[in-house]
Chains A and B, each alone.
Chain A
């Protein structure tokens, strides 16, 4: 009997906006001019915040910081595709996502300033605790999606991780569960080419990260992660598919980490200036601005207005974060368990 091919997989790559800001109009996602303006405003706020946080760290006013420079389109484009009732499971480099979802900026600064009250997420936001451990939160997003499916809630879970995260067992186990039970979850992999100093080639022999989804029985797609329109379009399609009960999607946002891993890192020790410069030309903000300008949406006045608004918001956040009173030492006991143990009750009295 002859051998025959019984399964073959293909991976689609989506690009809409090129580096000059020219869009393939046949692929344009449904976004109104107001929405495009709003996206741009979020973009400016995210970048302004990122820049300020970095400066605050340099001045010793916050602890470590993980910059998002270069990855804003991947983050904002995906988060913007969600409804308010959907759930987000961020890793530690998702300030663009948090900004897009209206997370109080001062709390992000508080968090990176070493105050855990910064991740006491306000009740009205469906954002889960920031995951510092790599990839472990993939499973939590899948569990949350399982709960949503069981309760017939029509909410979608979106989970963010990087190229490094795809090497973790949790990623594979989570993808397997999501595929097996056809759960409403969108896996967003920001392939920024570096896991601290480990290059993308060291994570896997797969040509793309998107193709990993096929092994778990669902679709994976690669998008230009520096193209906010492509990112949004892919995310919107994945979210709608999940909401219709048609299962998960993996989106690989092909992007680049322009800054150091964190402020505790020096990327110049392990990557070349040429590589970084090549990606500078692909800046996600510049091409989006050029696109809006050609469309007649962007003007100097608009830029000035959004710059000022962003600066004001970040100024306020900085002031609020720095004026926060110290946490109560007894808090460490108060929240360890749902209720105090007998020994804790005694220790509380001693504080």
Chain B
């Protein structure tokens, strides 16, 4: 089992980018490609499957060139059947393989929901641990380009609701590599959600393989007056909001969840106890969403520490619009986060 030899970084050290222990800077896109390439090299049981994953674009560049190195049996273009390829990948996973199923849009995953919810998520439980489904699903979310209602959703909460599934949302290149490798190494089915707007982000990323365990958030910026808990792209909006607030002498702490399920409750509780105020910024919708879960953790377990009501920055309750004018109104930015902070300080 090659995976047990890989170093795990389960720290929650503060810092935006971990350039301290890196030798070179690479993009989020390249960090993902490097993780896939290393997984394919280390373990013959790993294979990639998805629609168009070996096309010249290579899923926003994240699978580019991998077929040439590893062959079409391991970087496998699939018939267009999202439910079918999910079921086939699950079947291969229970037979001992470690498939990485790649969807260019998270919006294709609703077609796989039966296979994910009724099968992959259930078997370990139903069989008393006898059957494992070590399946990783990469799904991409995003903003803009008129991708609209059926190609630009942010569905993490759907998956995080289901016992048996794990949901990871890396915001930085370092995390993208470590969380993806951790997911491939894990015997639990895991959905890794990437954001299109992060693909060009760069930071120092170690060349060797390493794992970030699920369930460990991190502090992106330490602060004392207010906690902004965010994930994925919203971490960057939160950091910009923290800059704005800093100009007014307000010290905001930015917590990056990294893992939506399991949730790093300890980290959320500790931050809320320290600052006494909480804003949750999520890429998804408000109702029954990730922001609701984070707010509930604060209410249940850090209530005494809260000095003000919790605020949530989420999408309005409407499908994603196509028109740029509507998009601009639709997506929250650092300005809403900063304004919300103003309301509760």
A174 touches B84 (CB 8 A): yes
Interface size on A, residues (CB 8 A): 41
Q: From A116, A143, A176, A342, give the contact of B262 (CB < 8 A).
A: A342
Assembly CA distance A119 to B265 (angstroms)? 34
**Does B90 have its Cβ within 8 Å of any Cβ on chain A?**
yes
Q: B164 to chain A: which residues have CB within 8 Å?
A: 336-337
- Nearest CB of A to B320, in Å: 26
Assembly CA distance A120 to B129 (angstroms)? 8
A139 touches B84 (CB 8 A): yes
B92 touches A147 (CB 8 A): yes
A174 touches B79 (CB 8 A): no
**Does A169 have its Cβ within 8 Å of any Cβ on chain B?**
yes
Assembly CA distance A148 to B89 (angstroms)? 13
**Does B73 have its Cβ within 8 Å of any Cβ on chain A?**
yes
A177 touches B119 (CB 8 A): no
- Nearest CB of B to A345, in Å: 10
B95 touches A87 (CB 8 A): yes
**Does B20 have its Cβ within 8 Å of any Cβ on chain A?**
no
Closest residue of chain A to B86 (Cβ to Cβ) is: A139
Interface residues of A in 136-151 (CB under 8 A from B): 136, 138-148, 150
**Does B96 have its Cβ within 8 Å of any Cβ on chain A?**
yes
**Does A312 have its Cβ within 8 Å of any Cβ on chain B?**
no
Q: From A128, A133, A335, A342, give the contact of B128 (CB < 8 A).
A: A335
- Nearest CB of B to A235, in Å: 20
B89 touches A143 (CB 8 A): yes
Interface residues of B in 99-116 (CB under 8 A from A): 114-115
B125 touches A336 (CB 8 A): yes
A148 touches B95 (CB 8 A): yes
**Does A121 have its Cβ within 8 Å of any Cβ on chain B?**
yes
Interface size on B, residues (CB 8 A): 48
B92 touches A143 (CB 8 A): yes
A173 touches B81 (CB 8 A): yes
Q: Mark B23-62, 1 if CB is under 8 A from A, else 0.
A: 0000000000000000000000001000000000000000
A170 touches B265 (CB 8 A): no
A143 touches B88 (CB 8 A): yes
**Does A300 have its Cβ within 8 Å of any Cβ on chain B?**
no
Point out which of B95, B131, B188 has the most chain A C-beta atoms below 10 A from its C-beta. B95
Closest residue of chain A to B96 (Cβ to Cβ) is: A147
Q: Mark B179-205, 1 if CB is under 8 A from A, else 0.
A: 000000011100000000000000000
Assembly CA distance A121 to B131 (angstroms)? 9
A174 touches B88 (CB 8 A): yes
B94 touches A140 (CB 8 A): yes
B131 touches A143 (CB 8 A): no
Assembly CA distance A148 to B95 (angstroms)? 8
Assembly CA distance A180 to B84 (angstroms)? 13
**Does A343 have its Cβ within 8 Å of any Cβ on chain B?**
yes
**Does A295 have its Cβ within 8 Å of any Cβ on chain B?**
no
Q: With A146-B91, A335-B124 given, name 11 new contacts (CB 8 A).
A: A133-B114, A133-B118, A136-B115, A140-B94, A142-B91, A146-B88, A331-B128, A336-B125, A336-B163, A338-B187, A339-B188
A→B interface (CB under 8 Å): 87, 116-117, 119-121, 123, 128-129, 133, 136, 138-148, 150, 169-170, 173-174, 176-177, 180, 331-332, 334-339, 341-343
B→A interface (CB under 8 Å): 47, 73, 78-79, 81, 83-97, 114-115, 118-119, 123-132, 134, 163-164, 166, 186-188, 215, 261-266
